[in-house]
């Protein structure tokens, strides 16, 4: 069993027969009354995010998770298609559940697929990715690294991010996948 004291971001637990991923949590110890844990949980079946509060020390059944190396093949509008790099077996996941993660992955790229209780559930995305800029306004004379301002740019996966004025088409940039913000040129 796993206690509320052992919560970590990304831990999977079972609450009332439903599997959730702990997105964030906060231990609260009010001056009066018992301590409790305020959590933000993401339901693995459909991606809905819920706020739940538990008493401190409450116990839950831990969920076995593992990652397997897969190659992202393509998305057809309803499903995302993946291939196991060892066995060459192909599998599909509903695109709605992994759409947020897929925006940071180019087609035919290798990724880690998260399995929850031996069922494929989510795509593991690194905290930062490097991608080429495919479309942006051209830089103007005087646009330097120290100059302020930014402009929209489209990356090779199709996601749009704000980049500094000196970034041009073809440049490789590093982007934080959690916030969607430009970090540096690669």
CA geometry: angle 17, 20, 24, nearest 5 deg: 145
Task: Tell the residue number behind the tokens 């100059």, with chain if given.
Answer: 147
CATH number of 128-185: 2.40.50.140
CATH superfamily, region 65-124: Nucleic acid-binding proteins (2.40.50.140)
List the beta bridge partners of residue 131: 173
pLDDT per residue as tens digits for the range 152-175: 888 888 888 888 888 888 888 888
Domain spans in the chain, listed from the N-terminal domain onward: 2-62, 65-124, 128-185
User: Is domain 2-62 given the CATH code 3.30.70.890 in the classification?
Assistant: no
Residue-wise DSSP of 46-95: T--EEEEEEETT-EEEE--EEEEEEEEEEE-SSEEEEEETTT--EEEEEH
The answer to whether 65-124 and 128-185 have equal CATH topology is yes
pLDDT per residue as tens digits for the range 27-86: 888 888 888 989 898 887 777 788 988 888 888 887 888 888 888 888 888 888 889 888
pLDDT per residue as tens digits for the range 123-153: 878 778 888 888 888 766 555 555 567 888 8
**Chain center to CA of 14:** 21
């Amino acid at each position: 069993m796993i206690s509320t004291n052992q919560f970590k971001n990304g831990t999977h637990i079972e609450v009332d027969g439903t599997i959730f991923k702990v997105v964030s949590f906060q231990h609260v110890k009010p001056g009066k009354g018992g301590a409790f844990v305020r959590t933000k949980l993401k339901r693995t079946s459909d991606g809905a995010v819920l706020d739940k509060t538990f008493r401190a020390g409450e116990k839950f059944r831990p969920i076995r998770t593992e990652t397997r190396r897969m190659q992202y093949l393509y998305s057809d509008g309803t499903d995302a298609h993946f291939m196991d790099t060892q066995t060459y077996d192909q599998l599909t996941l509903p695109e709605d559940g992994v759409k947020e993660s897929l925006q940071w992955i180019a087609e035919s790229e290798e990724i880690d697929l998260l399995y929850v209780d031996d069922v494929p559930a989510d795509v593991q995305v690194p905290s930062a990715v490097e991608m080429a800029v495919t479309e942006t306004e051209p830089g103007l004379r005087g646009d330097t690294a120290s100059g302020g301002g930014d402009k929209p740019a489209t990356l090779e996966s199709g996601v749009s991010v704000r980049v500094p004025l000196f970034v041009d088409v073809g440049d490789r940039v590093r982007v934080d996948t959690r916030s969607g913000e430009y970090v540096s040129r690669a």
